[in-house]
Chain A
Amino acid sequence: MKDILTLARAHVLTAFRERETLFWFLIFPLFLLTILSLIFGRMSDGQDVHFSIALINDPSAASAAPFSPSAIIAEAFAALAAPTDSGHQPLFAIETPQAGQDRDGFLEEKLVELRRGQLAAVLVLPPDFDQRVMDTLDAGRGAPSAEAHLYMSATSVASETAASIIEQVLAEVDRSLLGRVGRFDESRAIAHVTGWVGERESEVDYVDFVLPGILLMAFFASGLFGVPGTILFNRDRKVLRRYWVTPLSVGRYLMGFGAGHLILCALQFTLIVALGKFAFGASISLFGPTTLLILILAVVTFLAFGFLIASLAKSANAGMATANILNMPMMFLSGMFFPITGLPSFMRVVVLANPVTYLLESLRQSVGVQSGTLMPWPWTFVVPVLWIGICTFAGVRRLRWDVQR
């Protein structure tokens, strides 16, 4: 045990004395959190943001009125869902019931998807919506508004953002309808009633949404890049060669290195969470037992990937190239930056095999910024643990003390 603890201490001391390591381990994640929180403090810019929503209206009711408010609303959303000239994704992808499909059944199904985070919002226009709007318009100022039902997730920032855009669209349509009857006052023909899915405990701020992702990304970067970087640079500098002629085994070396890495990640965690809480007012708790378990699982998973890369690469440069190759699919096919629903099937295989998918989703869920899971709960642990086993086994078996001749 003495050897493992002394190796861990040496690893931590070295990290603190090496400026580059200190930067990537501690300064960079803090810098990233600061930048993201300052720039995207309220994720209100709709450009390049894409939401899947469901719209339920009753076209059969529209024919009775001289013009159909529900059709105007549907057209407004269709315009926002149309492909853009610039090639960017449209703001919305809209799901509507098929002709003849049961409206209540469809609503129920979409609310489940909303709860799971697969939809950002559901807008329901009641069957008598057009008639009620027309009545309101005819009745003049002070008449009760027609109600649209807007359902949003209480645990998703994306849902809040999508809902605020939908509210703006409804307000625009409302102004347009009032203009048709020559009214330009402050009255409203359309009102929306908000329905919440999931438990709404507190306001979810952007920093709450981004904090788990930053933590995971920091652990990911230090595992995939920091671990093989340190091991392989030490091998290139012939440091590992010195260990070779002692009774130290590869397994115990990796255990000592891993223990040091855990200490550094605990420090990373403390600093990032402290910055999020005290500088940007994060309200989520990352100290729950499930959250801590997921975070430890994440650190060990990425550490194991680092061991695998170190054991496969012939030099530090080759190791960094391998880490870069793994970096792209693991980060981007995990839901860290955009939703993974709607990806082509071959990409979904990567998503489902990717441990980051499970770690990120379970972490966001455990801190209450996302509801529902893609896979049953045990998979959250099974997939990362499988990867830990495979990578550690390969690392211990294949890691060489010396540059191969």
Chain B
Amino acid sequence: MTNQIALRVAGLVKHYGSVPAVDGISFEVPLASVFTLLGPNGAGKTTTLEILEGIREADSGELVLFGQPMTRVSRDAKQRMGVLLQDGGFEPHLQVREIIQLFASFFARSRSVDEILDLVALREKAKAQVRTLSGGQRQRMAVGVALVNDPDVVFLDEPTTGLDPQARRNMWDIISGLRSQGKTIILTTHYMEEAEALSDSVCIMDHGKIIAQGSPRDLTGRLGEETLIEFRVDETDGEAIGQLASCCDRLRHDGPLFTLETSDLQRTMTGLLRWSEAQSTRFHDLRVRQPNLEDVFLTMTGRTLRE
């Protein structure tokens, strides 16, 4: 492996018609790390991942996988890859065990079916037909299928979209477990808390371009030493908002939701309480927090990840 890099991408371009879906992006993914492509819907994350998985061919750009330069992902490379598609189905009348056996047969090397069933906690559902599984169980089975060949690199496209909080937490545990086994994981998500919790490095995409990349700590650190204070108020007028702005470095508000950025928490909190008393206003959902990747995206694009 060249310099402990599992994957290197340089100048990757992909157009759909005249629309650039991926517009000259470059990044490197170190071995045994979790690398996350983060961005809103339509940012180009899935197209990037589909090129890396071999589903689509790039218009131009360089791709080096396991030290091998390639224009299109080869069958040999696929032997070492595990893929969880965002948009893929399973034959509904086959049992979980049969599905895993089927996919295992496509690879030269595979783990035992029972091992996979234990890994994704589906042993008790081994004989259940796919059509009877819940969304979370189906997603766990899809992860099991992606891991059936004991891959060196695992692509997970929006692995927790549509899952309930408990199922999402289970998926995080599986991903963390893979990382501790030394697997390289390339992940896409539009959940910033997921990217923060799981990633060693994050690449933030918007309109097909990379607008920031680094570790979650590096990226949030770029916003300085500021602290954020968030709260809701029932009603307020323009003059009152102006008074509030004077006790912080920066103020944003979206309807009744206010966010104050400050480098002097003591001063701002004191000013905020005085303002509340003067306005006879009650705070709801008051929260003091550090900046996160959502704030990074907001600062760089003026939009939230979910817009």
- B222 interfacial contact with A, CB 8 Å: no
Task: Say yes or no: A14-B78 contact (C-beta < 8 A), given A241-B88, A242-B145, A245-B85.
Answer: no
B residues near A242, Cβ cutoff 8 Å:
85, 88-90, 103, 145
- A172 interfacial contact with B, CB 8 Å: no
- B175 interfacial contact with A, CB 8 Å: no
- Interface residues as binary, B105-121 with A (CB distance below 8 Å gives 1, 0 otherwise): 11110000000000000
- A249 interfacial contact with B, CB 8 Å: yes
B residues near A3, Cβ cutoff 8 Å:
105-106
- B55 interfacial contact with A, CB 8 Å: yes
User: A227 to chain B: closest CB distance in Å?
Assistant: 15
A residues near B103, Cβ cutoff 8 Å:
242, 246
Q: Is the CB of A17 within 8 A of B107?
A: no
Who on chain A is nearest to B99 by CB?
Answer: A10
Most buried by B among A7, A10, A237, A242: A242
CA distance A234 to B91 in the complex (A): 7
User: A17 to chain B: closest CB distance in Å?
Assistant: 4
Q: Is the CB of A245 within 8 A of B78?
A: yes
- A2 interfacial contact with B, CB 8 Å: yes
- A321 interfacial contact with B, CB 8 Å: no
- B54 interfacial contact with A, CB 8 Å: yes
Q: Name the contact of A6 in the complex, choosing from B85, B105, B108 (C-beta under 8 A).
A: B105
A residues near B83, Cβ cutoff 8 Å:
245-246
- A244 interfacial contact with B, CB 8 Å: yes
- B287 interfacial contact with A, CB 8 Å: no
- A247 interfacial contact with B, CB 8 Å: yes
* A199-249 CB contacts (< 8 Å) to partner B: 234, 237-239, 241-249
- A180 interfacial contact with B, CB 8 Å: no
Who on chain B is nearest to A17 by CB?
Answer: B93
B residues near A7, Cβ cutoff 8 Å:
102, 105
User: B161 to chain A: closest CB distance in Å?
Assistant: 15
Q: Is the CB of A14 within 8 A of B89?
A: no
A-B contact count (CB 8 A): 73
CA distance A245 to B55 in the complex (A): 7
- Interface residues as binary, A374-391 with B (CB distance below 8 Å gives 1, 0 otherwise): 000000000000000000
- B53 interfacial contact with A, CB 8 Å: yes
- A13 interfacial contact with B, CB 8 Å: yes
User: A246 to chain B: closest CB distance in Å?
Assistant: 4
* A1-59 CB contacts (< 8 Å) to partner B: 2-3, 5-7, 10, 13-14, 17-18
Q: Is the CB of B79 within 8 A of A247?
A: yes
User: A307 to chain B: closest CB distance in Å?
Assistant: 19
- A160 interfacial contact with B, CB 8 Å: no
- A147 interfacial contact with B, CB 8 Å: no
Task: Say yes or no: A247-B90 contact (C-beta < 8 A), given A7-B102, A13-B98.
Answer: no
Q: Name the contact of B102 in the complex, choosing from A6, A244, A245 (C-beta under 8 A).
A: A6
Q: Name the contact of B53 in the complex, choosing from A2, A14, A237, A245 (C-beta under 8 A).
A: A245
Task: Say yes or no: A246-B78 contact (C-beta < 8 A), given A17-B129, A241-B85.
Answer: yes
Q: Is the CB of B89 within 8 A of A13?
A: no
CA distance A3 to B91 in the complex (A): 16
Q: Name the contact of A402 in the complex, choosing from B55, B101, B108 (C-beta under 8 A).
A: B55
Who on chain B is nearest to A405 by CB?
Answer: B16
Q: Is the CB of A244 within 8 A of B54?
A: yes
CA distance A358 to B52 in the complex (A): 49
A residues near B93, Cβ cutoff 8 Å:
13-14, 17-18
* B148-166 CB contacts (< 8 Å) to partner A: 155
Q: Name the contact of B106 in the complex, choosing from A241, A243, A405 (C-beta under 8 A).
A: A243
- Interface residues as binary, A82-93 with B (CB distance below 8 Å gives 1, 0 otherwise): 000000000000
Q: Name the contact of B87 in the complex, choosing from A2, A18, A241, A249 (C-beta under 8 A).
A: A241
User: B68 to chain A: closest CB distance in Å?
Assistant: 15
- Interface residues as binary, B146-190 with A (CB distance below 8 Å gives 1, 0 otherwise): 000000000100000000000000000000000000000000000
Who on chain B is nearest to A18 by CB?
Answer: B93
CA distance A237 to B89 in the complex (A): 6
CA distance A167 to B89 in the complex (A): 65
Q: Name the contact of A239 in the complex, choosing from B75, B81, B91, B155 (C-beta under 8 A).
A: B91
Task: Say yes or no: A238-B87 contact (C-beta < 8 A), given A245-B54, A246-B78, A247-B79.
Answer: yes
Who on chain A is nearest to B78 by CB?
Answer: A247
CA distance A244 to B92 in the complex (A): 18
- B269 interfacial contact with A, CB 8 Å: no
Q: Is the CB of A244 within 8 A of B55?
A: yes
- Interface residues as binary, A57-69 with B (CB distance below 8 Å gives 1, 0 otherwise): 0000000000000
- B192 interfacial contact with A, CB 8 Å: no
CA distance A245 to B53 in the complex (A): 6
* A116-141 CB contacts (< 8 Å) to partner B: none
Q: Name the contact of B91 in the complex, choosing from A2, A5, A14, A246 (C-beta under 8 A).
A: A14
Who on chain A is nearest to B81 by CB?
Answer: A245
User: B102 to chain A: closest CB distance in Å?
Assistant: 5
Task: Say yes or no: A246-B107 contact (C-beta < 8 A), given A241-B88, A405-B16.
Answer: yes
A residues near B81, Cβ cutoff 8 Å:
245
Most buried by A among B76, B87, B102, B108: B102
Q: Is the CB of B91 within 8 A of A248?
A: no
Who on chain B is nearest to A239 by CB?
Answer: B89
CA distance A334 to B10 in the complex (A): 59
Q: Is the CB of A246 within 8 A of B94?
A: no
CA distance A31 to B29 in the complex (A): 61
Most buried by A among B93, B98, B145: B93
Q: Is the CB of A241 within 8 A of B78?
A: no
Task: Say yes or no: A241-B94 contact (C-beta < 8 A), given A2-B105, A247-B79, A248-B106.
Answer: no
Task: Say yes or no: A246-B16 contact (C-beta < 8 A), given A10-B98, A18-B93, A239-B90.
Answer: no
Q: Is the CB of B94 within 8 A of A13?
A: yes
CA distance A244 to B56 in the complex (A): 10
Name 15 A/B residue pairs within 8 A (Cβ), A-sorted.
A3-B105, A6-B102, A10-B91, A10-B94, A13-B93, A17-B93, A239-B91, A242-B88, A242-B145, A245-B54, A245-B85, A247-B78, A247-B106, A249-B75, A405-B16
Apart from A10-B102, A247-B79, what 9 extra A-B contacts exist at CB < 8 Å? A3-B105, A17-B93, A17-B129, A237-B89, A238-B87, A238-B89, A241-B55, A242-B85, A245-B81
**A contact set with B: CB distance below 8 Å:** 2-3, 5-7, 10, 13-14, 17-18, 234, 237-239, 241-249, 402, 405
Nearest 4 interchain pairs by C-beta = A6-B105, A245-B83, A17-B93, A238-B89
